[in-house]
Amino acid sequence: MQTHQALCITVESQSGSLVIDWTDGLRSQAGFAALREACRCGRCRGAIARGESQRAAEGLALTRVEPVGDYGVCLHFDDGHDRGIYPWDYLRELLIPVPVARPGAAA
C-alpha cells in the first residue's frame, strides 16, 4: 500500500508537462524531460548502473499514460522508452507542488 494516490492525471502537451491532482488535494507537476530522465525501465536502469547520464531529447513528447493497477502509471515517451513504471510515491517525490485555484474556495 502506498502513501499517495492520484485522483486525476493531465498531460499538458502545450507546455510539455504532466499534472497530477492527488487524493489529499495537492496538485503537482513536472516537465516531460524531468520525467523521462527519471525513467526506470530496464534500459535506463542498465544505463544508470553503468554510470551513464540520462538526458532527455529536445522536444521529447509523452505519448501515453498507462495505468498500472492502483500502483502507479507507465509513461510512454516518443523516444522508445515506454516501459518505465512510476509508482505514486515516486511521482509524488518527482513532481513539484503547484498552487491550486479551488472553485468556491474564495472568501
Q: Can residue 39 be called a binding residue for Zn ion (CB under 5 A)?
A: yes
Is residue 44 a contact point for Zn ion (CB under 5 A)?
yes
Distance of CA 24 to the CA centre of its chain: 17
Q: Which segments of 1-107 are extended strands (E)? A: 6-12, 17-22, 27-31, 62-68, 72-77, 84-87, 96-98
Cell numbers given for 15: 507546455
Least distance between Zn ion and beta carbon 16 (Å): 18
* Residue among 41, 61, 65, 85 that touches Zn ion (CB under 5 A): 41
Which residue lies nearer to Zn ion by CB, 39 or 91?
39
Nearest approach in angstroms of CB 31 to Zn ion is: 16
Binding-site member from 17, 81, 91, 95 for Zn ion (CB under 5 A): 81
Between the alpha carbon of residue 98 and those of residues 7, 11, 25, 79, the distances in Å are 15, 15, 11, 28
Rank residues 38 and 95 by Cβ distance to Zn ion and give the closer one: 38
Grid coordinates given for 14: 502545450
Q: In the complex, which residues of this chain contact Zn ion (CB under 5 A)? A: 39, 41, 44, 81, 84
